[in-house]
Amino acid sequence: MMDNFVAKIIEFGAKAASVIEVKDITFRPEFREACKRNACGKYNTNWGCPPACGSIEDMMAQAQSYPYALVYQTVSQLEDSFDYEGMQAGKAFYNQVTEQVLKAYAEDFPEKETLFLNAGACKLCSRCAKLDEQPCRFPDKRTISMEAYGVDVSNLAKVAGMNYINGQNTVTYFGAILFR
Ligand code: SF4
């Protein structure tokens, strides 16, 4: 059944997908220090990002309570390494694939309890309510990034049998559905 679903994700446009055990994923609590240094510029600007999303200890424990992870990646071509529009288009493509993956998963496996780990900050609203110190508009739908859970994504790629980098002038995004 899950093999068929992996094939479905490829049909949606993902470059690769596979099921791994969460115990094989490397979690690095020290990644939270990079968040605190605001390495990505999103710290304290989004309800789906640190510090609002929760402590690294709580989030790692939450993720590690699931036995399996369905991991997928999208790969998009860039004109060159400065192609910002191409990167945005790559993220839009990842979002489009992700929307289909989550919808199909909910239809095919309604009985499974899941936790979705996204690529980057929650972008459900054009302006996150956190910026205006208002409550999250969609707490049941907001997403949290893999890094906020402490996931070492380059190691995740290796464990899932995927390339973390997919050649010159490409951009790769990863998503994962943890399930039980
Ligand atoms: S759903 Fe909207 S308000 Fe909530 S975290 Fe996402 S972008 Fe922010």
Pocket test for ligand 1, best of 49, 118, 126, 138 (most atoms within 8 A of CB): 138
- Tell me which DSSP letter residue 147 carries: G
Pocket test for ligand 1, best of 44, 132, 137, 141 (most atoms within 8 A of CB): 137
For residue 14, the model assigns a pLDDT of: 98
In angstroms, the CA 69 to CA 53 distance is 20
For residue 2, the model assigns a pLDDT of: 87
Decide: 144 in ligand 1 pocket, CB within 6 A.
Answer: no
pLDDT digits (tens, 9 = 90+) for 90-142: 999 999 999 999 999 999 999 999 999 999 999 999 999 999 999 999 999 99
In angstroms, the CA 2 to CA 18 distance is 9
What separation in angstroms does the CA of 95 have from each of 13, 44, 92? 11, 22, 5
Q: What is the arrangement of strands in the sheet containing 144-145, beginning at the earlier edge strand?
A: 16-21, 68-77, 170-179, 114-118, 144-145
Which one, of 103, 98, 49, 92, lies nearest residue 73 by Cα? 98
For residue 40, the model assigns a pLDDT of: 86
Q: Which residue has the tokens 């860039």?
A: 78
For residue 3, the model assigns a pLDDT of: 87
Q: Identify each DSSP E strand in 60-123 by its residue range.
A: 68-77, 114-118
CA–centroid distance, 99 to ligand 1, in Å, is: 16
Decide: 137 in ligand 1 pocket, CB within 6 A.
Answer: yes
Q: Which amino acid is it at 129?
A: A
- Name which residue sits closest to atom 4 of ligand 1, judged by CA: 136
Decide: 145 in ligand 1 pocket, CB within 6 A.
Answer: no
Q: What atom of ligand 1 comes closest to residue 47's alpha carbon? A: 5
- Name which residue sits closest to atom 3 of ligand 1, judged by CA: 136
For residue 39, the model assigns a pLDDT of: 85
Decide: 52 in ligand 1 pocket, CB within 6 A.
Answer: no
In angstroms, the CA 63 to CA 179 distance is 9
Pocket test for ligand 1, best of 98, 136, 141 (most atoms within 8 A of CB): 136
Decide: 20 in ligand 1 pocket, CB within 6 A.
Answer: no
pLDDT one digit per residue (tens) for the chain, 180 residues: 788 999 999 999 999 999 999 999 999 999 999 989 998 888 999 999 999 999 999 999 999 999 999 999 999 999 998 999 999 999 999 999 999 999 999 999 999 999 999 999 999 999 999 999 999 999 999 999 999 999 999 999 999 999 999 999 999 999 999 999
